[in-house]
Amino acid sequence: MLKVGFDNEKYLKEQTSAILERVEKFNDKLYLELGGKIVFDYHASRVLPGFDPNVKMRLLQKLKDKTDVILCIYAGDIERKKIRADFGITYDADALKLIDDLREWGIDVLAVVITRFTNQPAAKIFKNKLERRNIKVYTHNFIKGYPTDVDIIVSENGFGANKYIETKKPLVVVTGPGPGSGKLATCLSQLYHDHKKGINSGYAKFETFPIWNIPLKHPVNSAYEAATADIKDYNLVDPFHLKAYDKTAINYNRDVEIFPVLTRILEKIMGEPVYKSPTDMGVNRAGFGIINDKVVKDAAKQEAIRRYLRYACEYVLGVVDEEAVQRAKAIMEELGVKIEDRKVLKPARCAAKEAERQEKGNEGIFCGAAIELKDGSIVTGKNSPLMHAASSLIFNAVKKLADIPDKIHLLSPNIIESISSLKQNMSGAKSVSMSLEEALIALSISAATNPMAELAIEKLKELRGCELHITHIPTPGDEAGLRRLGFNLTSDPNFSTKALFIA
């Protein structure tokens, strides 16, 4: 049973009110930099149980009559095909997905800005693709001296060189995939042009983490540090807020470091001081939505473990350096937790040992997996000549949920034989063991003639949000299936095969 630690409706009311108050502070327009994930914010939903991962979209929908949306993406992220970890898609694909998601909520993106554009080939293709779908695209070049040389930045050769984006609504939300997308620079560029035109616009920032009105070392804030260990973010007491108000507020290093320069830029554009601290710039009310501190603390500690395990896998894959792994480990130690505190880890490893015992004498890598169902029970699975560990795990889990006896087969021998034969004949596969994606397709075929398979498919939706651990890095076919089912997935940093190329 999910323990709730966060009140969505209270947060939505508080956050909406705070944004509208900030809009009123400026006579004409507010540019609101929206950091983090605008939709499917699964980090927030994991560390704040009860948090709706789409609550920010609900907020925008409430304000859509007053809101224009600008989406920013860094040209370098497009060029190097940077991946968004939770969806396994590139940042440019994520930008396209975000446009689609916003449209489903009745919100259109006014324009896309490709930032720090220097005619990168992949960025040009992305621009063409959008424009040929009738989406306005602007390119902003790198500004020499940004962000420290204020005289150049706030001039016709700086922000003035960026093409102005015409907006009509009093609230302009500026968002984008990932950190470093150029959201802040886009907001400031628009402010520069507005004030040259006599439009009294202002700037504010909307980010969920770190939460400014809970302690520095609160596990929720530590989980944010763990989530950003690869980009070396860390939390600290906002020194400007402490000096101005003699009150403790939590912020993070990049906002604090840039604040003196940002203050000078804003003052030069607007003609007067605007904010006394980085915390003042924020309209972040997530802390007021916490209704059970113990529940969110426990959830955040589990997130720190998940992040450490993810970095350990990304390290062996060559994605992050060892420093990110060590940083995540240090945060976990600060919180007083270890990987064994993840409830599904030990059962998964035991399942792998069981597979090895059963296949004694056979060469190969033996894998195990475990899932914690929503009633707290644990189900395990292991690899075999017929199925990957992830496939057997999911079949075992849906059987338990549907009260289907173990001796009843969900897949007919004919279907298994057909898939095995196809894999051997079409791809020359050395292993005919079914990945999860293949197994789910086979299950859907079986459902046409097997009522038990049909019942099992009905139970798949009950797995969303469950905790799962697997003793090897999932193969592409397993990862795709696990992602679609919506697990909170971790794995040991082991490969499922000695082969270097995994199809």
Strand segments, DSSP code E, in 352-466 are: 368-372, 378-382
The amino acid sitting at 307 is: R
Return the minimum-mean-pLDDT range out of 55-69, 260-274, 488-502.
488-502
pLDDT tens per residue, range 455-476:
999 999 999 999 999 999 998 8
The least confident of 12-16, 217-221, 493-497 is 493-497
Strand 29-34 relative to strand 171-175, pairing: parallel
- pLDDT tens by residue, 345-356: 999 999 999 988
**Hey, what are 98's tokens?**
């975000």
Q: State residue 310 phi and psi, 5-degree precision.
A: -65, -45
pLDDT at 457: 95
What pLDDT was estimated at residue 431? 57
- CATH classification of 342-491 is 3.40.140.40, yes or no? yes
- Check if the beta carbon of residue 1 is closer than 8 Å to that of residue 375: yes
* Cα separation, 296 vs 308, whole angstroms: 18
Q: DSSP letter at 205?
A: E
Distances (CA, A) of 206 to 37, 282, 366, 423: 11, 6, 46, 49
Architecture of domain 1-208 in this structure: Roll (3.10)
Rounded to 5 degrees, what are φ and ψ at 363?
Answer: -80, 155
Three-state SS string across 411-429, please?
A: CCHHHHHHHHHHHHHHHCC
Domain boundaries, the chain: 1-208, 209-282+290-341, 342-491
Quick one: pLDDT at residue 102? 94
User: What is the residue whose two structure tokens read 């003052």?
Assistant: 267
- Of 134-138, 302-306, 385-389, 465-469, the range with the lowest mean pLDDT is 385-389
User: Can you give the pTM of this predicted structure?
Assistant: 0.91
Over residues 85-110, the pLDDT tens digits come to: 667 789 999 999 999 999 999 999 99
29 or 407, greater pLDDT: 29
Q: Are 38 and 211 a contacting pair, CB within 8 Å?
A: no
Query: Encoding tokens for residue 319?
Result: 């994605």
Q: Which CATH architecture has domain 209-282+290-341?
A: Up-down Bundle (1.20)
pLDDT at 28: 85
Tell me: pLDDT of 361 over 60: no
pLDDT digits over 285-311, tens only? 999 999 999 999 999 999 999 999 999
**For 236-242, what is the mean pLDDT?**
98
Q: If pLDDT is split at 50, 70 and 90, which confidence band does 10 have?
A: very high
- pLDDT bin (cut points 50, 70, 90) of residue 160 is very high
Beta bridge partners of 31: 172, 203
- Asked if pLDDT for residue 400 goes beyond 60, the answer is yes
Mean pLDDT of 413-442: 76
Query: Are the C-beta atoms of residues 306 and 487 closer than 8 Å to each other?
Result: no
* Strand ranges across the sheet with 171-175: 137-140, 111-115, 67-74, 171-175, 29-34, 201-206
d(CA 368, CA 381): 6
**Poorest-confidence range of 147-161, 171-185, 225-239, 426-440?**
426-440
Residue appearing with tokens 């960025």: 123
**How far apart are the C-alpha atoms of 362 and 431, rounded to whole Å?**
14
pLDDT of 184 strictly over 60: yes
> Which of 403, 402, 391, 412 is closest to 485 using CA atoms?
391
- Phi, psi at residue 431, to the nearest 5°? -115, 135
Distance (Å) of CA 99 to CA 30, 38, 110, 111: 21, 11, 10, 10
Alpha carbon 251 to its chain centroid, in Å, reads 20
Given a contact cutoff of 8 angstroms between Cβ atoms, the answer to whether 214 and 290 are in contact is yes
